[in-house]
Amino acid sequence: MIHDDDLLLIYARLYSLVSKKPRKLLINKPTDSSMAGASSSMVLAAQVSWYCTLLLAVMLALSCCDPSDVVLLDHQEAPLYGQAGPEFYDTRSRRCDEIYVVGEGETLQTIGEKCGDPYIVEENPHIHDPDDVFPGLVIKITPLNKSKASFVFTFGMLLAATIVLGSPNDPARKAYIVYMGDLPEASTNVEDDHNSLLLHAIGDARIARSSIIHSYRKSFNGFAAKLLPHEVQILSEDKRVVSVFPNKRRNLHTTRSWDFLGMPLWLQNKNMRVQNDMVIGILDTGIYMGTPSFTDHGYGPAPAKWKGKCKAALNFTGCNKKVIGAKFFDLDNMGHGMESSPIDEDGHGTHTSSTAAGVPVPNASLYGIAEGTARGGVPAARIAMYKVCWGIGCSDMDILAGFDEAIADGVDFISISIGGQSRSYFEDPIAIGSFHAMRAGILTACSAGNEGPDIFTVQNVAPWILTVGASSIDRQYEAAISLGNGAKSSGISINTFSSGNGMLPLISGALAANSTNIGYGNASLCDYGTLNPAMVKGKIVYCMENMGQEYTIKELGGIGIITSSDIEIDLAMMTLIPGIRGTGYDLKGMHEYAACRKPQASLSKTRGVKVAAPLVASFSARGPQLISPNIFKPDILAPGLGILAGYSMIPSVTGDPTDKRHSAFNILSGTSMACPHAVASAAYVKSLHLDWSPAAVRSALMTTATPVKTKHRLDELGIGSGQINPVKAADPGLVYDIGMKSYVRVLCYEGHNDTMIGLLMGGKAKFRCSSLKPAHGVDGINYPSMHIQLKNTNKVSGVFFRTLTNVGFPKSVYTATVTPPKGLNVQVIPSKLTFVRQGQKQSFKVRVEGESDHKEMEVLTGSIEWSDSRHVVRSPILIYIGTYLDDLEKHS
């Protein structure tokens, strides 16, 4: 309803001027019946604004566009299409404006629109022809104070610029990334090109200038800008543009591990001089220079090739000879309340950086837990930090800016423990940035994501990326529980507290239920609002599995927590108060004992316990993937469970502001922790083979990986080639190399058009996929692993074409050994490869045929191993059969 105390300013924006298809311009003159209930001043304002709108529309129709584009209909009978402002009905903010339609004398009714989507007509009795609803004339209704009536009448006609084009601060404008491929060969001003292109789309120089957010101009071509839907359409159709996609926010995928991988310190330092000139670029939350892992004793000047800089600001005082670059990016204004500098206020970036290249620090621990020497995989290498993540996440615009700078600065490797929902490669900033990094000879390692054990959750799946899942090491963090009846058990936890030998009162959540809140939540799970504070205070509380109960227990005055899970646990969590997680088996009898008279318990501090390893972590994302369905991801596993590494002293060890514990080292888990292990392993291999391509390094890591045993059938979808083994990878014997043309060929193979790929490649010559040798086989690429996805069939038939390059003994003969997937026949042709020199290439094909016994979801695994008696070059074969793949594709 429109109230008397609202004064409406009605103005129009003409979207249809840019449309090639003839559109109708529909205008409804305000009448007494349609403005029933409105104040006289409001009616007058609406009528004046209507005449201004009509006059403006006529002027535009005559001067700005072809007469066939805009047709003025009988304004007395046509409906009014309006856009309600975010404060039209109430004072609460809304994420996007909503589109409304009104007939003469009738109230506003929604016809539907989603943020950034085209206008979609829903069922509405006033709309008979869906073509009548279009991105044409839009009336925006904004409430104004009565005292501003003179403003309305005086400046009504001066709204012309915003009427047609929209204000640069229009909330309808959303941030988009306009990707234009490779940098132009000519020495043109790229920023001028971006402004010109934006002006073409917007039509107003002032708004175009103020709408642009950032230009990517150092390593690839593109820009970020705030755009309206029709401007997105114009830019998408421009032949100079590869893709236009909305800026989205992504999430972080959040020692002894190097000993577990067989890399003692003396071996890590084997090629120190070469490693000293290597720079690992980290895209993350920043870096904390006060961490001991980043001391620069013994380091010389930065490598001569280095072009990067260090942005000292506020509490970030600068870099040193170890950390030689630090920049920050906040194009999306996500750093509210945080320091605008490269300093790490989260801890994640410091942890990943020190895991990759931290110097050895003896006696490192988290309050005495996991004590030992903490060190990175290539401790002699340099670090460059590109802060692209803030408290609420990581923006696509910032990630792309980080890649742009890192490539231009001269990093040798990029580690990025960030992810989001997989998208088309040309709409994915990590895929785009890593492609240009690959062209510059830079290997990018990315975390696979933490959405496991669900399948089809793997992220960062581009074929030029090293995608890393998380595995366990041979140490698990356990804490003991002692009960008042003498029973003892244990659970998994990172518990820095200890109740000593003293027994403390114990109660279960079920018995501590708040009777006034029965029916809201579940007291057994210790849900918020279900517990009686008087019964919880001063006690250890036993809860059935849930997440985050410790916050509730601490708030209510509880002094400890024990949680019981129905599923197997491998992830040790840091707790705000003394706490332990266990399975129902581990905590057998706990529920019954908690119901006894005056139950008691004590919780010990965490200690490290040796366990069998490696295993894929429960949270590590699983394949297969849908972007390139027959390229299997993740590629490899690396330690990501319970990793001790450097940490920032700014946040608490839990990140909770009420937690007073701070430490220079912390124990974290996630594929975020696995990724820097992989990039450091790649740097170690590269230091011994400086002429190897990124694909050759990745191949060496994959084909020498240690096969991993699985507990569950679907775990096969998360292990890739197995556990990374950097020592073996230094001498793989043979590699599956992939050049630039091969990646382009697979893009052609997957249906991307000539124009888009031509822009990606750059150069003056017009690109055509037909000019390349066609890709063959199931996947069309020389990948180290082999994968087939099947849907709605259990009949398997596919051929893989592969080429191996000799990097081992000049004269060698390799013989193939096949372990076929169950029920399938695998044939390798030829089964013997003879090499007479290093660098020689030999090709073969693999034919996989047969029929599975299962018609529903099934995972079949096998392998091919090429051996010359010293080297074993292993490629996994994985067949995924799924009957519901169609549904997944629809929702991807």
By annotation, the residues acting in catalysis are: 284, 348, 672
**Tokens representing residue 232 in the block:** 């997105």
Q: How far apart are CA 648 and CA 652, in angstroms?
A: 9
Cα-Cα-Cα-Cα dihedral of 627, 629, 632, 634, to 10°?
30
Q: Which residue has the tokens 């311009």?
A: 25
Tokens of 469: 């899942």
- CA-CA distance, 507 to 559, in Å (whole number)? 11
Q: How far apart are CA 533 and CA 55, in angstroms?
A: 68
Q: Contact, 674 vs 459, CB < 8 A?
A: no
DSSP string for residues in 122-139 = PP-TT-S-GGG--SSEEE
Enumerate the β-bridge partners of residue 395.
249
DSSP for residue 574: B
Amino acid letter, residue 47: Q
Q: Residue 153: how many CA atoms within 13 Å on its side-chain side?
A: 11
- 3-state class (DSSP) for residue 827: strand
Q: What is the helix (H) or strand (E) element at residue 471, kind and residue range? A: strand 465-471
Nearest Cα residue to 672 out of 705, 639, 624: 639
The answer to whether 481 and 440 are in contact (CB under 8 A) is: no
8-state DSSP, 287: B
Q: Could you say which DSSP state residue 298 is in? A: T
**What are the beta bridge partners of residue 798?**
848
| Rounded-to-10 torsion of CA 82, 83, 85, 91 | 80
Beta strand residue intervals within 52-209, DSSP E:
70-72, 80-84, 98-102, 109-110, 137-144, 174-179
CA angle 245, 246, 250 (to 5 degrees): 110
Q: Do residues 636 and 517 touch, judged by C-beta distance below 8 A?
A: no
Helix (H, G, I), strand (E, B) or coil at 100: strand
**What is the DSSP secondary structure assignment for residue 359, as one 8-state letter?**
P
Report the run of H or E that residue 791 belongs to, with start and end: strand 786-791
Distance CA 626, CA 884 (A): 13
- Going 627 to 630 to 636 to 637, the CA torsion angle's sign is positive
What are 209's two structure tokens? Answer: 């200038």
Beta partners for residue 268, in sequence order: none
Which helix (DSSP H) or strand (DSSP E) does residue 433 occupy? helix 429-439
- Tell me how far apart the alpha carbons of residues 123 and 121 are, in angstroms, rounded to a whole number: 7
Beta-strand ranges (E) seen in 28-152 are 70-72, 80-84, 98-102, 109-110, 137-144
Rounded (10°) angle between helices 229-237 and 190-202: 120
C-alpha span between 414 and 445 (Å, rounded) = 6
Rounded distance, CA 801 to CA 750, Å? 16
For residues 666 and 673, what is the distance between their CA atoms, to the nearest angstrom?
12
